[in-house]
Structure 1
Amino acid sequence: MTTKPSVGSYQHVLLPLFLLFCFGGVFYTYYKPTVSWFSCSNVPVSSHEVCSDECLKVLTANFTQNTTTHNYTTQKLLLPQPTPKPADTEENITFLIWTWPFGFKFDVKACSPQFGIEGCQLTDDRSQYDKAHGVLFHHRDIGGDFTELLKRPRPPHQKWVWMNMESPDNSGRNDRFDAVFNLTTNYRRDSDVWVPYGRIIEISEKDKPFKIPPKDKLVCWIVSNWNPNFRRVKFFNELSKHIKIEAYGRHFNRYISSEDYRTIVSGCKFYLSFENSIHKDYFTEKLFNPLIIGTVPVVLGPSRENYEEFIPADAFIHVDDFKSPQELAERLKFLDQNQEVYERYFTWRQHFTAIGAHFGLEHACRSCDLIKRNKSYRVFKNLNKWYWG
């Protein structure tokens, strides 16, 4: 007689199968093995087929490898912690003006409103010398008291700043200056604190749209320092043979006041921005004042390439672009008769404007700010070689 197996007789088979099924579900959900459960690497299997023995071998090997190389122990998640905010160590810097540059005094409280520089206390009180973090010396005003100062004890962390805006040709060399100063502030781009005579900056919303001022003169020049050996004087003498130039200044006995300066220059289509000496980065207010006022500068100075590092190429005319003063004169006459072409020299004013430097004040404020932010040791060993060559 055939006996039907009881339910209990299958329990030893069903229970292991049930547990295996549950384990497989959990394993697939959380482990996500690199070999698919429905297709085995290097063993083509239809998605409707059961995995072959070869497939199971691959799965077994992969599972064994992964379970032995992964740590499934629950670990505490380490989140990046915010960097603690440093304590407020803001320090006010005392910056001493040893002598006012050319005797020109400026507002010692203007660093913040003019340049947004905080924490700089400018003073001309020499009794503050021992506690001053920095001292500004203007090259042309260094005198006998400087020699006496060199004999005095010097605070070890105090920085001496050499300021000069004159070209090497117009500045006296002094061998005492080597290894004395810590920083330089100058028109040269490679000085520690660069302060040019002017800058081209982006226009702001508060700037009024630029309009070319009315013109009643073609070419103008204002000059006082007349030296027949200067290149600019020789060029002017030749240029004036081919075009009318309205010349002003002591040499021409046509003095103008500071009040009249802007009116005269703005009425000129072109202004001769001729420098008295030619050195890298040396372009002065003779260039920037016409740009600010609204006149096209005709420049004589360093190379066009040097000018173009700081001002738009179509904002000026360089004398070196012409074979002779006569050729330059012909170009200026052409521009005088062709207003549309002339106005192209002001296209840059759609996006930019020109500003001048705050002589003395800007040097002091920016030097003070550098000392405040930078505590590193620094001595300028070869000032004479760097500046005079």
Structure 2
Amino acid sequence: MRSPQNTSCSMKAETTSSFKKKYFYFQLFLFLLLQLLFTLSLLSYWYLLPQSMQNYCPPKQVAPPVTPVFIILLWTWPFNDLYSLQGLRCLGPWVREANCQITLNRTWYERAHAVIIHHREVSLMPSKQLPPEPRPTGQRWVWLSLESPSHLDNLAAMDGLFNLTMTYRTDSDIFTPYGWLRPRQEQENGSLTQPPFPKTKLVAWVVSNWNEDSTRVKYFRRLQPYLPVDVYGRNHLPLPVKNQQRVLSTYKFYLAFENSQHQDYITEKLWQNALKSWAVPVVYGPPRHNYERFLPPDAFIHVSDFKSPWELATYLMKLDADEKHYLSYFQWRKHLEVVTRPGWFQEFCKACRILLEPPTYRTLPALSKWFS
């Protein structure tokens, strides 16, 4: 016979077991109900989707396109004044489908898209110094020159070889000036209308190539008796390059006399030696109207404005004594500032931009006639 105590424990165990079974079936029912509701919701969503979305397949993962490289070979570096091109690549908002890599390595000739050739270094023996022919299909040659026609040898040998021009002339395919003016960024103030350096001397002239038979030296010889001029350069006063701008900035006027007179041939004599030094340029070169394409008319003095060197000398002496009139030659600086070419990289990147434009493959049959 069971004791009352054992009977009571047995009844409790049966009750607990019955409760667990009921709880298990309840959880199973609840799980199945939730699964049913989820399936019905998914079917409803699929039924309401547009047919195009029902057939949607995710796109395959595609690697980003590789930007092609446009190779520009510098066959000759201007004046052999070499700089490192390590890591130089021209990139910018104007580069859409390619970027340019500029190289001096001639072994890349066959795969170069364009070749830039500075005239002076190939003018002695063009047939031996120019790149080999026939050139790779589609390759364009760019003729580069910063010197005037008066100082170029064998110019006619370049006829029929080149596709684009790169010179100081505004009608070049790639315009490469010695300097230019741009709108001033900072606010206008009075200090911009007078030289920042004390002007203690009158007139300076730096001459690297003195030739008594040249027209500029002949004009100077006629001017010299009436006007004191400090002449620097070979066989004249010494002027180290590192001190040049500091010395020239002490002069009120600078003789920006070009070595020859040709369209748009306005060199560093004006941009660097005169304007960067805040000296009023007295110019001898192309006609006044040509200078006015690049400068305000009151930014310089042209020798053609005077009937004789004596009249020019008299005018400069009067300006020296009339500070107000002299300072009127700086009024344009309120709104404009002088920019000179910082180096060749900027010019090569400009060539890159133009070469990347839709190509018009042409040949210049009479380059010598055009440039002369």
**Shorter-chain TM-score tier:** 0.7 to 0.9
5+ residue gaps, structure 2, are: 1-63
Could you list the per-position Cα deviations for residues 155-199 of structure 1 after superposition, in whole angstroms to 9, with x for gaps in the alignment? 111110010000001111343311111111001111111111100
Could you list the per-position Cα deviations for residues 95-153 of structure 1 after superposition, in whole angstroms to 9, with x for gaps in the alignment? 1111211111235355658x876522111111111111111101001165863755443
Is the Cα–Cα contact under 8 Å of residues 90 and 101 in structure 2 kept in the other structure? no
Is 1:347 equivalent to 2:327 in the alignment?
Answer: no
Question: Which residue of the partner structure matches residue 42 of structure 1?
Answer: none
Q: After superposing the two structures, state which structure 1 stretch, 173-182 or 353-362, moved more.
A: 353-362
Task: Output the CA distance in 2 between the equivalents of 1:335 and 1:149.
Answer: 52
Task: Output the CA distance in 2 between the equivalents of 1:268 and 1:153.
Answer: 54
Could you list the per-position Cα deviations for residues 303-354 of structure 1 after superposition, in whole angstroms to 9, with x for gaps in the alignment? 0000001111110000000111111111111111111110010001000011
Question: Which residue of the partner structure matches residue 219 of structure 1?
Answer: 203
Question: Which residue of the partner structure matches residue 141 of structure 1?
Answer: 121
Is the Cα–Cα contact under 8 Å of residues 251 and 279 in structure 2 kept in the other structure? yes
Is the Cα–Cα contact under 8 Å of residues 88 and 101 in structure 2 kept in the other structure? no
Task: Output the CA distance in 1 between the equivalents of 2:156 and 2:105.
Answer: 28
Give the 5 Å matches for 1:169-318. Answer: 169-205=150-186, 210=192, 211-212=194-195, 213-252=197-236, 254-289=237-272, 290-318=274-302
Task: Output the CA distance in 2 between the equivalents of 1:89 and 1:322.
Answer: 62
Task: Report the CA distance shift for 1:207/1:347 in structure 2 as closer, same or farther (over 3 A).
Answer: closer
Q: CA RMSD in A?
A: 2.4
Is the Cα–Cα contact under 8 Å of residues 224 and 251 in structure 1 kept in the other structure? no
Task: Output the CA distance in 1 between the equivalents of 2:211 and 2:129.
Answer: 36
The counterpart of 1:99, out of the listed 76, 101, 109, is: 76
Q: Tell me, what secondary structure is at the counterpart of 1:153?
A: coil
Is 1:120 equivalent to 2:100 in the alignment?
Answer: yes
Is the Cα–Cα contact under 8 Å of residues 188 and 335 in structure 2 kept in the other structure? no
Aligned length: 300
Q: Tell me, what secondary structure is at the counterpart of 2:172?
A: coil
AA in 2 matched with 1:178: D
Task: Output the CA distance in 2 between the equivalents of 1:374 and 1:185.
Answer: 18
Task: Output the CA distance in 1 between the equivalents of 2:115 and 2:187.
Answer: 37
Give the 5 Å matches for 1:323-334. Answer: 323-334=307-318
Could you list the per-position Cα deviations for residues 349-380 of structure 1 after superposition, in whole angstroms to 9, with x for gaps in the alignment? 00001111245334322222211123221211
TM-score, reference length from structure 1: 0.72
Is the Cα–Cα contact under 8 Å of residues 111 and 117 in structure 1 kept in the other structure? no
Task: Output the CA distance in 2 between the equivalents of 1:144 and 1:330.
Answer: 49
Task: Output the CA distance in 1 between the equivalents of 2:154 and 2:316.
Answer: 40
Question: Which residue of the partner structure matches residue 368 of structure 1?
Answer: 352
Is the Cα–Cα contact under 8 Å of residues 185 and 363 in structure 1 kept in the other structure? no
Q: Tell me, what secondary structure is at the counterpart of 2:171?
A: coil
Is the Cα–Cα contact under 8 Å of residues 95 and 132 in structure 1 kept in the other structure? yes
Task: Output the CA distance in 2 between the equivalents of 1:294 and 1:103.
Answer: 30
TM-score, reference length from structure 2: 0.75
AA in 1 matched with 2:100: C
Task: Output the CA distance in 1 between the equivalents of 2:304 and 2:93.
Answer: 40
Task: Output the CA distance in 1 between the equivalents of 2:118 and 2:309.
Answer: 38
Task: Output the CA distance in 2 between the equivalents of 1:90 and 1:268.
Answer: 52
Q: Tell me, what secondary structure is at the counterpart of 1:368?
A: helix
Question: Which residue of the partner structure matches residue 109 of structure 2?
Answer: 129
Could you list the per-position Cα deviations for residues 67-110 of structure 1 after superposition, in whole angstroms to 9, with x for gaps in the alignment? xxxxxxxxxxxxxxxxxxxx979543111111211111235355
Shift of 1:238: 1.4
Question: Which residue of the partner structure matches residue 24 of structure 1?
Answer: none
Is the Cα–Cα contact under 8 Å of residues 120 and 368 in structure 1 kept in the other structure? yes
